[in-house]
Amino acid sequence: MEPTNIEAPEYFHKVVDCQWACPAHTPVPEYIRLIAQGRYTDAYMINWKSNVFPGILGRTCDRPCEPACRRVRVEEEPVAICRLKRVAADNKDDIADRLPPLAAQRNGKRIALVGAGPASLAVARDLAPLGYELVIYDGDAKAGGMIRSQIPRFRLPESVIDEEVGYITGLGMEMRLGERIDSLKSLLTKDYDAIFVGSGAPRGRDLDVPGRAEAAANIHIGIDWLSSVSFGHIEKIGRRVIVLGGGNTAMDCCRTSRRLGGEDVKVIVRSGFDEMKASPWEKEDAMHEDIPILNWLVPKEFTHENGKLTGVTFEKVGAVFDEKGRRKLLPTGEPDEHYPCDDVLVAVGQENAFPWIERDIGLDFNEWDMPVVDEVTFASTNPKVFFGGDAAFGPKNIIWAVAHGHDAAISIHKFCQGESVADRPAPGVTLVSQKMGIHEWSYDNDISNALRHRVPLRDKAEALSNVKLEVELGFNLGVGFKEAERCLNCDIETVFAEPLCIECDACVDICPMDCITFTENRDETDLRHHLSAPALNLEQDLYVSSLLPTGRVMVKDEDVCLHCGLCAERCPTGAWDMRKFLLNMTHAEGACRM
């Protein structure tokens, strides 16, 4: 097969998987190494630049990076990347002197941001230091959007929200809180050079089921109910509670119910347990708090007497697949099941609602009544209006909203400077040797054999007694160090220099994973089966050298490499080196030519 160009960033994209799985492209191994070195503030600031909310995400992130963690290639559990963010956040020093200074002068451009959630705040964080005059509108009395309104305090203390939102609002912007925008057309008439819409997906889906209207007093839309709890408007619920839905919102609803008086709380889902949209750890947390999850049940009727809810009748269903593999839920023919309850929380999904956006302002909507938004630039069909977060493509999560905000900020900056928003800046890439001496490296390559550490939890009885008492206690410094040591340093890469190689096979002998082979070059399919150990993961590129003096090539199976550096340590000629691949995504600062 053709030799791999080791200088090409595309190769490393398939090696530093955790950074590429993160929508904000956070340099995960870099900040984990800093944690292991006790440099918590440095680790926090790396996160702050890319994901904006390290303390918040260290408690609530959906963890797209962890399934991509290379640790799962040698054992079942990935590094606890998410919870290590919290280690940095909880143990950092004061960062006031590290935040961008207030802009010395305005650049003459004025931007409106609709919604004070994570997408808008990410845009503001990138544009404020560049001198933009920013005005953020939100109907709530405090900034944070769904971070504040829909994530329960027992998962995310309000003090953490105040701190990290405050870092952004403190960069100098006008906060018009309690001021809801009810007309985009009207906003466009005001003196704004661009508008960013980060209003989220504020409407929870309802169920059109018999008895819904008659028993309405005790049937609540999940996200609205969570908001009411967060802002102190609701402080109790009935003893018997049914939560309908299988996503993370449903898990928040059921766990909140347990803390507000729900003794018999059930989650009932139309799909199977493994098909539920809730993250595995969210389901685990709910079940730890004695909340059963019942599957394959579709609500058929809300039962009631004299206007009061008495329970829910369900039809038993099963998954059936047609000849094209399409899945349908069909009744099994088993008897209906009735579960008595005092309250029902409906958490079957969220959807966008744009009644405040007129349809005659040059902004196109698609067949799902969603604005037409470019997936790269986040521009709408009205050149002055940009979208991001849930408002752009529907409900997702905080880290995606942050990534949208970074990209939208680039577009807004380029638009305001008269440049094409389609001209996207390339990221910065470096590849630097980590060798400091004959036997010295700038990183710890003693790979820990420890299994993943569990985050300690507050005693269950105590946790359930107070809706504001944080359940997860976080890693202490000792455990945080041990968990950080599990990282395989996947951004520190083996780089091979053919002219220095004498084909002594010392690297082959010392490799603990049998991932290095000197062999004749072949077609890739054939080559994969002529290695020291067959390379079976076709999604991972092989690292193939150019021809060596003997006519052979060096082939390395990156799929199982531990990045331990033993090949570079053992090599007598220095043909192997360990180099750190660092990817710096370009944000609004530095995106323009001007």
pLDDT tens digits, 347-364: 998 888 899 999 999 999
pLDDT digits (tens, 9 = 90+) for 14-24: 667 888 889 99
Return the C-alpha torsion angle 303, 308, 310, 314, nearest 10: 30
For residue 373, pLDDT beyond 60 = yes
- The pLDDT of residue 14 is 63
The pLDDT confidence band at residue 156, using thresholds 50, 70 and 90, is very high
For residue 527, pLDDT beyond 90 = yes
pLDDT digits (tens, 9 = 90+) for 292-312: 999 999 999 999 999 899 999
Q: How far is 69 from 78, CA to CA, in rounded Å?
A: 6
The pLDDT confidence band at residue 12, using thresholds 50, 70 and 90, is low
Residue 11 to residues 7, 8, 543, 552: CA-CA distances in angstroms?
Answer: 8, 6, 9, 22
- The pLDDT of residue 265 is 98
- The pLDDT of residue 335 is 96
Secondary structure of 385-412 as H, E, C letters: EEECCHHHHCCCCHHHHHHHHHHHHHHH
Which carries the bigger pLDDT value, residue 431 or residue 270? Answer: 270
Nearest C-alpha neighbor of 318 from the set 374, 370, 272: 272
Return the C-alpha torsion angle 118, 119, 121, 124, nearest 10: 170
- Residue showing tokens 């650049």: 107
- Residue showing tokens 């708090």: 289
Number of alpha carbons in the 13 Å side-chain half-sphere of residue 368: 10
- The pLDDT of residue 539 is 84
DSSP count for the chain of H helices, then E strands: 20, 24
Nearest C-alpha neighbor of 473 from the set 452, 451, 453, 448: 453
The pLDDT confidence band at residue 437, using thresholds 50, 70 and 90, is confident
On average, the pLDDT of the chain sits at: 93
What is the SS3 assignment for 124?
Answer: helix
- For residue 108, the Cα-to-chain-centroid distance in whole angstroms is 34
Question: b or e along 265-293 (b: 16 or more beta carbons within 10 Å of the residue's beta carbon)?
Answer: bbbbbbbeeeebebbeebbebbeebebeb
Any alpha helices (H) in 318-439, and if so which ranges? Answer: 390-393, 398-416
Q: How far is 127 from 111, CA to CA, in rounded Å?
A: 9
For residue 409, pLDDT beyond 70 = yes
The pLDDT confidence band at residue 52, using thresholds 50, 70 and 90, is very high
The pLDDT confidence band at residue 585, using thresholds 50, 70 and 90, is confident
Q: How far is 225 from 347, CA to CA, in rounded Å?
A: 10
What is the SS3 assignment for 245?
Answer: coil
pLDDT digits (tens, 9 = 90+) for 250-279: 999 999 999 999 999 999 999 999 999 999
- The pLDDT of residue 75 is 84
Give kind and range of the element (H or E) at residue 233. none
Residue 544 to residues 271, 281, 343, 577: CA-CA distances in angstroms?
Answer: 45, 39, 62, 15
pLDDT digits (tens, 9 = 90+) for 197-253: 999 888 889 999 999 999 999 999 999 999 999 999 999 999 999 999 999 999 999
For residue 315, pLDDT beyond 60 = yes
Taking residues 388-393, report their average pLDDT.
Answer: 94
- The pLDDT of residue 216 is 95
Contact 394, 369 (CB under 8 A): no
Residue 168 identity: I
- The pLDDT of residue 7 is 62
Contact 487, 38 (CB under 8 A): no
Taking residues 502-517, report their average pLDDT.
Answer: 94
Give kind and range of the element (H or E) at residue 584. strand 576-584
For residue 430, pLDDT beyond 90 = no
Residue 59 identity: R
The pLDDT confidence band at residue 56, using thresholds 50, 70 and 90, is very high
Beta strands in 208-326 (DSSP E): 219-221, 240-244, 264-268, 293-294, 297-305, 308-321
Contact 86, 155 (CB under 8 A): no
Give the pairing of strands 174-177 and 133-138: parallel
Contacts of 42 (CB under 8 A, 6+ apart): 31, 34
- The pLDDT of residue 465 is 96
pTM as predicted: 0.93
Any alpha helices (H) in 14-137, and if so which ranges? Answer: 17-21, 28-36, 40-51, 54-60, 81-91, 118-127
Q: How far is 487 from 220, CA to CA, in rounded Å?
A: 44
What single DSSP character describes residue 291? -
Taking residues 117-130, report their average pLDDT.
Answer: 97
- The pLDDT of residue 132 is 97
Contact 227, 142 (CB under 8 A): no
Which residues, listed in sequence order, are joined to residue 345 by a DSSP beta bridge?
Answer: 220, 243
Residue 497 identity: A
For residue 447, pLDDT beyond 80 = no
Q: How far is 120 from 143, CA to CA, in rounded Å?
A: 10
Q: How far is 551 from 324, CA to CA, in rounded Å?
A: 49
Nearest C-alpha neighbor of 390 from the set 442, 445, 351, 357: 351
- Residue showing tokens 């340093």: 489
Percent of the chain with pLDDT over 70: 98
Burial class (CB in 10 A: 0-12, 13-18, 19+), 351: middle
Taking residues 357-386, report their average pLDDT.
Answer: 95
Which carries the bigger pLDDT value, residue 324 or residue 97? Answer: 97
- The pLDDT of residue 594 is 56
What is the SS3 assignment for 577?
Answer: strand
The pLDDT confidence band at residue 9, using thresholds 50, 70 and 90, is low
CA dihedral for 279, 281, 282, 288, sign (positive or negative) = positive
Q: How far is 303 from 584, CA to CA, in rounded Å?
A: 57
pLDDT digits (tens, 9 = 90+) for 67-99: 989 888 888 899 999 999 999 999 999 999 999
Contact 242, 209 (CB under 8 A): no
Return the C-alpha torsion angle 279, 282, 288, 292, nearest 10: -70
Q: How far is 237 from 263, CA to CA, in rounded Å?
A: 10
The pLDDT confidence band at residue 4, using thresholds 50, 70 and 90, is confident
